[in-house]
Amino acid sequence: MTSISISQPTVLVFAGDHGIADNGVSIAPSAVTQQMVLNFLAGGAAINCFCRSNDVALKVIDTGILLPVEQAHPQLVVQRLGTRTEDLSKRAAMSLEKVNEGIELGKRIVQQTIESGSNLVMFGEMGIGNTSSAAAILAALSDLAVEDCVGLGTGISEEQYQTKVSLVSQGVKRCQGSSPLEVLSQVGGFEIVQMVGGFMGAYEKKTPIVVDGFIVTAAAYVAALIEPKCRDYMIFAHQSQESAHKHMLKALDAKPLLDLGLRLGEGTGAVLSVPLIRAAAEFYNSMASFEDAGVTV
């Protein structure tokens, strides 16, 4: 029997900003994305705590945040597709050329991570307004109503929620009859596009990706539509509190490992699942059968 070993588990946190955030669909402005990226690099965020306690490496990918980090850092990878996406409620979030560029960049960073020795990669994300993008992707590629796809994000008010539904609906209307790549162009995010490419790159390397919450699952959903075999390499960490996450998981026939009521992002749920994955590997490798153990039944 071939044993399972876990080598250099690594979480890649993809950060990107969204033009729709200017409409007040989040509790925070876009500038907070940079502040959180700096916090990741300083080691002070929730994801850093969970990485330290579970011996997981961390890299942050700047896919296009409004305020870039000016200083180089060993944990920061800069592969920006722009300053941020366009406002998806008014126009296409990005061009198809940017979608394809982002997919290639996502493939590359994941395959570099695998080639450096990691055989368990996790995805996380950071980006003010990215639940709007993820909700729009789900609504555009499924039979669900926009109202069933839009949630409260990090805790918006009822008034903000109604605004968010209206704005997402405007973007989704442009997506009728569109392919997954066209939907990414119309309502996607730079971080989501690069994660789509990352899933495809992991499939090419036959390496599992641990899927975090709502936004990462949106990227997984698109990747599986483009290349269905990607789905075989996805481990779903948890079901988040974002209301539409359960619909995405159902569409992917996914049974998440954990349900902790999280709405944190950053890859936190993915990293929290690592002890369970390690335990499963040890169980597979080492647990004796009744026959081997001399147990009669």
Q: How far apart are CA 56 and CA 118, in angstroms?
A: 10
The whole-number pLDDT of residue 27 equals: 85
For the record, the structure tokens of 190 come out as 């730079």
Q: Helix 214-226 to helix 180-187 angle, to the nearest 10 degrees?
A: 150
Q: How far apart are CA 247 and CA 213, in angstroms?
A: 12
In tens, the pLDDT along 180-209 reads: 999 999 999 999 999 999 999 999 999 999
Provide the pLDDT confidence category of residue 296 given band limits of 50, 70 and 90.
Answer: confident
Which residue among 159, 182, 266, 291 is the active-site one? 266
In tens, the pLDDT along 218-241 reads: 999 999 999 999 999 999 999 998
Q: In Å, what is the CA distance from 54 to each residue of 11, 20, 235, 265, 280? A: 11, 35, 17, 17, 15
> Could you give the 3-state DSSP secondary structure of residue 102?
helix
Q: How far apart are CA 55 and CA 178, in angstroms?
A: 42
The whole-number pLDDT of residue 293 equals: 66
User: Is residue 266 annotated as part of the catalytic site, yes or no?
Assistant: yes
In tens, the pLDDT along 20-71 reads: 999 988 888 899 999 999 999 999 999 999 999 999 999 999 999 999 999 9
Q: pTM of the entire structure?
A: 0.95
For the record, the structure tokens of 12 come out as 């890649």
